[in-house]
Amino acid sequence: MALPVWGAVGWVRLPLRRVPWSIGSRESRIVGPRLRCLRGDLSRGCGSVAGASEEEGLLQPAAVVPLLRRVGAACNLSVRAARLLVENRRVLVDGATCTDMRAMVAAGSSVRVFNKSREEVEAPPPRDFYLKFFKPRGVLTTHRQDDRSSAPIISALYPRGAEDVLHPVGRLDRESEGLLLLSSDGSFTLFATMPATHVPKEYMVVTDCIRDGVVAPPSEALLAQLREGVDIGDGSPAVAAAAEVVEFDGRFARIRLVVTEGRFHLVRRMMRAVGFSCLQLLRTSVGDMRGVVLRPDTLAEAAYEAWHPEVPAVAPATRGGCGSGSWGSGPGKELLLRPGEFAEVRPEEVQAIYDRGLEWLELHHPVGGWRGPQKK
């Protein structure tokens, strides 16, 4: 089996093999749009494609990565196994023993590991990327172009220099837009998407408020139903952590919804359950990661775009912050991405996702209760 990827020399086919999943199971796992999240040995890229990242204008790997990721990539270990090495004081950072599993290390730091054979191994910085991307409406979150559809696919929009290793962290359906995380780190993807970590995701929903000839935004009673849980037809109630009307123009309303799970078309089905449609579904945050512009300027324009969809342009993503209106107002002046733009995820945001996963791992797979695979 091979995966076609775009590299410096054109389309190439990257051989795939089944590899253990990052929690330690012996089966590989499909995440998001049926993509296999690969562990350290494949996520670092291949041949000339990896070397091309040195060229001017291409995206450079993350300058700071989780220590566990660096140890795991160097030793071909899961995060679960890498925790054991750190716990047993077998990891040195810049010559000093490090026992902090939450540590983030810079690319310039020296990391050495004493593996299970007691051999000292250098752990070079992995070629990893952690990106925030504003997915335009009309783009499919997949790497495979369907012959029956002319819709562009997400891999055609990846930034130059990381096309061969990126995968989406979760997914947004074709008609949804907004914040989509991209990464080459399978553990980051797992921790950000697994239901047990309860990573909150915020959506802004534009809906038509005409119902039975009456124009009115969703009532507080309907919003309370969303917060208490509604039946969306799959046997398990869907609960919103937050639901409120944030804007109403006399015809259309914008509703803020926060959910902590990721079922198929979850928000659309929740809105349908209380009798409202989704003219626009825009994701504005994943955990603490924000930074997309709330567009278009009016609710009527959002409705018009829904009724008159256009095929988005297909081009590699551009770095955000280069145009006018790309920065928010206020003391922080947060970078606001527009459709087709990307920005790096900050190290503290990567650490926050890892913290959620490590908390779950410690609860269900404590280091003291697991000593790795035993020799027969």
Catalytic residue numbers read 173
CA torsion sign for 242, 358, 107, 22 is negative
- Is the Cβ–Cβ distance between 73 and 44 less than 8 Å? yes
Half-sphere exposure (CA, 13 Å, Cβ side) for 38?
20
Q: Quote the CA–CA distance of 124 and 145 in Å, as a whole number.
A: 35
Half-sphere exposure (CA, 13 Å, Cβ side) for 340?
13
Structure tokens at 137: 């409406």
Structure tokens at 14: 């990257």
- Is the Cβ–Cβ distance between 59 and 52 less than 8 Å? no
Q: Which of 159, 205, 167, 212 is nearest to 186 (CA)?
A: 167
Max Cα distance, the chain (Å): 75
Q: What angle do CA 348, 353, 357 make, to 5 degrees?
A: 140
